[in-house]
Amino acid sequence: MTKLAKPNKTLASRILTEVDYRKHITGYQLSERGGARPVKLYSFEEVVNFLSAPHPRIDFEALLVWVQDVMSDLELTSKLKTTLHQDVSDYEKSLRCRELMEQRLAQSKAVG
């Protein structure tokens, strides 16, 4: 797995803080009967948890923009871009994004 550099306190604080409504990201939870149900995500940890759920769907380009512009995490954005440009299924991309984001979340909690 790709290793991320330890975040500074400012970045760790952004990672651990909930964003306001205008800066949320929307994912979609798929179900057999209900189809795609939108889920508004207001924190980095919510996105990580969302990507751990069964059948998550998220616009990967929107995720890149959110991590870059809202979280201001350029290193993670770069690693996610590399992951998302690999020739694998969307499911595999979701798993790889989740792994990177879990790593950043754990690092941020340790800096705290």
Contact status, residue 73 vs residue 7, Cβ threshold 8 Å:
yes
Cα(71)–Cα(42) distance, integer angstroms: 11
Q: Which residue has the higher pLDDT, 98 or 55?
A: 98
Can you give the pLDDT at residue 61? 96
Is this prediction's pTM over 0.85? yes
Residue 54 has pLDDT above 90, yes or no: no
More confident residue, 68 or 53: 68
In the predicted structure, residue 30 carries a pLDDT above the cut 90: no
- 112 has pLDDT over 80: no
Looking up tokens 């751990």 gives: 52
Q: What residue ranges in 1-112 does DSSP mark as E strands?
A: 25-31, 35-41, 56-58
